[in-house]
Amino acid sequence: MPFVIAIDGPAASGKGTIARAISDHFGFHHLDTGLLYRATGAKGGDPVEAARSLTAEDLARPDLRSAEAGQAASRIAAIADVRAALVDFQHRFALREPGAVLDGRDIGTVICPQAPVKLYVVASDEVRAARRAQELNADPAEMLVQLRERDRRDSERAAAPLRPADDAVIIDTSNMDIDEAVATAIAAVERVRG
């Protein structure tokens, strides 16, 4: 049985950076599940049909990291039929040997609730806004408004709201550099793996 690591948290908390580093460290496959929703939103048209017809090329689009793609992803992620269309893809990915790291908003609570390691990565709103503004060369105040709007929408949606799993290890990256955040996450995984 493959070893699954579920990493959840709000935008710009550092979960994607941590997930990539963990997958490299352990030699596991990595899936940024947010790309599934970003690609679905970017395709346009009927969101359910877009989710059902995703291809590898759709996930490789260069515009998927934009603020617009993130907002579109958050809006379509609230549609239960879109989420259902993407669940099978994520379940299949989690079965890849020797292990898989999936990061998103509902991995530990919905997609892989039996994952032996669940991490929930957070950071203060201001730190997340500054990170996203630097990444996108945007205004931090504008990013703060957008992140809070997205957090509210993601946390209040009926289908798979953003929240930590009951047994998730919370990692607050507000005052950590990348190396420290990654080391903290790897230590949490190693405690479970032995």
The burial of 166, by beta-carbon neighbours within 10 Å (0-12 exposed, 13-18 middle, 19 or more buried), is given as exposed
Res 158: pLDDT:
81
Q: What is the mean pLDDT of residues 111-130?
A: 97
The answer to whether the beta carbons of residues 74 and 10 sit under 8 Å apart is no
The answer to whether the beta carbons of residues 177 and 171 sit under 8 Å apart is no
The H or E element containing residue 45 is none
What's the topology of domain 3-193?
Rossmann fold (3.40.50)
86-119 in b/e form (b: 16+ CB < 10 A) is bbebbeebbeeeebbbbbbbbbbbbbbeebebbb
The token duo for 21 is 């580093």
Q: What is the mean pLDDT of residues 135-147?
A: 93
The residue whose two tokens read 């390691």 is 117
The DSSP code for 11 is: T
Q: Decide if pLDDT at 109 tops 80.
A: yes
**Residue 172 phi, psi (nearest 5):** -95, 110
Res 34: pLDDT:
87
How far is it, in rounded angstroms, from Cα 20 to Cα 30? 6
Report whether 13 belongs to an annotated binding site.
yes
pLDDT one-digit tens code per residue, 167-194 = 999 999 999 999 999 999 999 999 999 7
Res 71: pLDDT:
82
Res 32: pLDDT:
92
Res 19: pLDDT:
98
Report whether 15 belongs to an annotated binding site.
yes
pLDDT one-digit tens code per residue, 46-99 = 999 999 998 878 988 999 988 788 888 888 888 989 988 999 889 989 999 999
Report whether 12 belongs to an annotated binding site.
yes
Res 59: pLDDT:
87
The 3-state secondary structure of 88-123, one letter per residue: HHHHHHHCCCCEEEEEECCHHHHHCCCCCEEEEEEC
Report whether 158 belongs to an annotated binding site.
no
Report whether 62 belongs to an annotated binding site.
no
The token duo for 175 is 């005052």
How far is it, in rounded angstroms, from Cα 29 to Cα 4? 10
pLDDT one-digit tens code per residue, 128-140 = 999 999 988 999 9
Report whether 16 belongs to an annotated binding site.
yes
Q: What is the mean pLDDT of residues 161-165?
A: 92
For residue 147, what pLDDT band results from cuts at 50, 70 and 90? Answer: very high
Report whether 113 belongs to an annotated binding site.
no
pLDDT one-digit tens code per residue, 3-58 = 999 999 999 999 999 999 999 999 999 999 989 999 999 988 999 999 999 887 89
Report whether 11 belongs to an annotated binding site.
yes
Res 72: pLDDT:
85
Q: Which residues contact 129 (CB under 8 A, 6 or more apart)?
A: 12, 140, 141, 143, 144, 147
The DSSP code for 28 is: -
Res 159: pLDDT:
78
Q: Give the start-to-end residue ranges of the domains of the chain.
A: 3-193
How far is it, in rounded angstroms, from Cα 142 to Cα 11? 14
Res 30: pLDDT:
95
* Residues linked to residue 23 through DSSP beta bridges, in sequence order: none
